[in-house]
Amino acid sequence: MTENTQMINVTRCAELDTNALQNLLTPYNINVELIAAREAIPGSFWGDEEAGLIDNRLLIRLDTPVHSALHEACHYICMDQFRRDKLHTDAGGGYDEENGVCYLQILLSNQLPGINPKQMMNDMDAWGYSFRLGSTQEWFMFDAKDAANWLKQYNLIDTQNMPTWKLRI
């Protein structure tokens, strides 16, 4: 972990029951793997404490931010099967998918004990996610209809904006 990221106060996986994270992601066939402290996280696109993705494996350390773990898991959920079959480190995806990923990670945060959408959005802001309206909460409330519609188009959320627990085909 770099000195810079140590100063950012966000919720870390150490503050979660990692079994709860695994239980949340099991319907999506995502396996959570805990990496030892100070070990490099395989499959991490950004390095440091950021979560990694290899195949259907979400790789985290206890210092991994929860928003990073959910973000990478949501990439897995939102990508098509062709990309999922080749997944190693770089989730790829375009603008619409990235917005869908951000929206879905906020929705899924509500399913983790001790985490909620407001906390997730605050952590996203603290980490430096950038949205046109300035804050994640403003984006989510007033400018994310296209993200919700994208998720609905692929049957990832229902008409009530609740997860369907299905992967994009």
Domain that holds residue 26: 3-153
CA dihedral 62, 65, 66, 68 (to 10 degrees): -120
| 167 in a structural domain | no
Is residue 168 assigned to a domain? no
Rounded CA separation 19/53 (Å)? 18
State pTM to two decimals: 0.93
Going by pLDDT thresholds of 50, 70 and 90, the confidence category of residue 2 is very low
Residue 164 lies in a domain: no
Using CA atoms, how far residue 135 sits from 5, 72, 139, in Å, is: 20, 20, 6
Structure tokens at 15: 């503050």
Is 160 part of a structural domain of the chain?
A: no
Number of structural domains the chain divides into: 1
Query: For the residues 137-145, what does the mean pLDDT come to?
Result: 96
Flag whether 75 is in a domain: yes
Residue 158 is assigned to a structural domain of this protein: no
- Assigned token pair, 74: 């949501």
pLDDT digits (tens, 9 = 90+) for 33-84: 999 999 999 999 989 999 999 999 999 999 999 999 999 999 999 999 999 9
- At 7 the pLDDT is 61
pLDDT at residue 131, as a whole number: 86
